[in-house]
């Protein structure tokens, strides 16, 4: 199953000694970027997000052109309607979880109604965490709240940069089913960066292997339906 909103990327950019020269069509719904440290995964994610402006090339998402060097066209990050989940969650520490979630809705760019706060809270089982400070959450709880915050901004595309890398095995196992539920229930394309091959194989509809700033191969996968994979907390 592929989405009608795919990413089409042909870019060349240099950061210091590093050159990213990447060309790919990502149809998802969940595309995983894998590769050794320094291969350019986060740089490619930043190019998609508009946080790095490439020297040359073109980036499109569905029928939207986000970057075209020939036309000197560059859509700024906040206009791309992208949700971002980072390794550390990056919730605002001086606000409660509830305020973090409400704050995120304020930045919505979609004209439609968007998901209801209660539905996202239920989906990610974070109702009991709403009045807490992000400082008092476990790593897994923090990432579930960060995912909720990203979804509430009604993104067209979700970028996840090593969201489980800072968690131990048990916490990773706690969060993975929620990511699977979001992948399967919300038809938002996701580009997901990880070092962990088993995570890539469990989550990915396509696995994009990077090495030295290039995309070596894209492997499309057919995921077999897994019984009892709803989150269990
Ligand atoms: N702003 C910058 N200036 C100079 N070099 C940079 C800049 N940003 C990234 N790099 C270099 O680009 C290369 C690719 O970095 P990137 O973070 O994209 O790799 P990665 O595959 O995500 O690595 P990791 O898995 O360790 O996070 C690295 O050598 C990095 O040092």
| Cβ 107 under 6 angstroms from ligand 1 | no
Ramachandran class of 163: left when φ > 0, alpha when ψ lies in -120 to 50, beta otherwise: alpha
Q: Whose CA is nearest to atom 8 of ligand 1?
A: 15
What pLDDT does residue 4 have? 65
**Could you list the pLDDT tens digit for every one of the 233 residues in the chain?**
445 679 999 999 999 999 999 999 999 899 999 999 999 999 999 999 999 999 999 999 999 999 999 999 999 998 999 999 988 767 888 899 999 998 776 556 555 667 888 999 999 999 999 999 999 999 999 999 999 999 998 899 999 999 999 899 999 999 999 999 999 988 899 999 999 999 999 999 999 999 999 999 999 988 766 555 556 55
Measured CA to CA, the distance from residue 24 to residue 8 in angstroms comes to: 6
Query: Which neighbouring-strand residues pair with 220?
Result: 206
Nearest CA to ligand 1 atom 12: 18
pLDDT given at position 1: 42
* pLDDT of 7: 96
Residue nearest to atom 30 of ligand 1 (CA): 38
What integer pLDDT is reported at residue 176 of this predicted model?
Answer: 95
Any ligand 1 atom below 6 A from CB of 15: yes
CA 194/CA 208 separation, integer angstroms: 11
- Measured from the CA of 44, which atom of ligand 1 is nearest? 18
| pLDDT value of residue 119 | 92
**Which pLDDT score is estimated for 109?**
57
Looking at ligand 1, which residue's alpha carbon is closest to its atom 10? 15
Distance of alpha carbon 171 from alpha carbon 157, whole angstroms = 25
The backbone region for 162, taken as left when phi is positive above 0, alpha when psi lies in -120 to 50, beta otherwise, is left
From residue 232, alpha-carbon distances to 7, 139, 170, 171, 178 in Å are 33, 17, 13, 13, 9
Domains contained in the chain, CATH given: 7-220 (3.40.50.300)
- Ligand 1 atom closest to the Cα of residue 46 is 18
> So what's the ipTM on this one?
0.95
Could you tell me the distance, in angstroms and rounded to a whole number, from the CA of residue 16 to the centre of ligand 1?
9
């Amino acid at each position: 199953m592929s989405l009608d909103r795919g990413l089409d990327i042909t870019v060349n950019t240099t950061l210091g000694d590093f050159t990213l020269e990447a060309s790919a069509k990502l149809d998802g719904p969940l595309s995983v970027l894998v590769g050794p440290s320094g291969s350019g995964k986060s740089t490619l994610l930043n190019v998609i997000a508009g946080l790095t402006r490439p020297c040359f090339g073109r980036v499109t998402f569905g029928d939207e052109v986000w970057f075209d060097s020939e036309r000197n066209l560059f859509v700024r990050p906040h206009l791309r309607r992208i949700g971002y989940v980072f390794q550390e969650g990056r919730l605002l520490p001086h606000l409660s979880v509830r305020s973090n979630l409400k704050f995120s809705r304020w930045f919505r760019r979609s004209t439609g109604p968007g998901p209801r706060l209660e539905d996202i809270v239920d989906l990610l089982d974070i109702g009991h965490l709403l009045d807490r400070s992000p400082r008092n959450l476990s790593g897994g709880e923090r990432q579930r709240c960060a995912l909720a915050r990203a979804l509430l901004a009604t993104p067209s595309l979700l970028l996840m940069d090593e969201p489980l890398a800072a968690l131990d095995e048990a916490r990773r196992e706690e969060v993975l089913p929620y990511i699977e539920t979001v992948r399967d229930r919300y038809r938002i394309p996701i580009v997901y960066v990880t070092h962990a091959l088993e995570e890539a194989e469990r989550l990915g509809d396509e696995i994009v292997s990077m090495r030295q700033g290039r995309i070596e191969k894209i492997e499309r996968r057919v995921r077999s339906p897994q019984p009892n994979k709803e989150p269990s907390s």
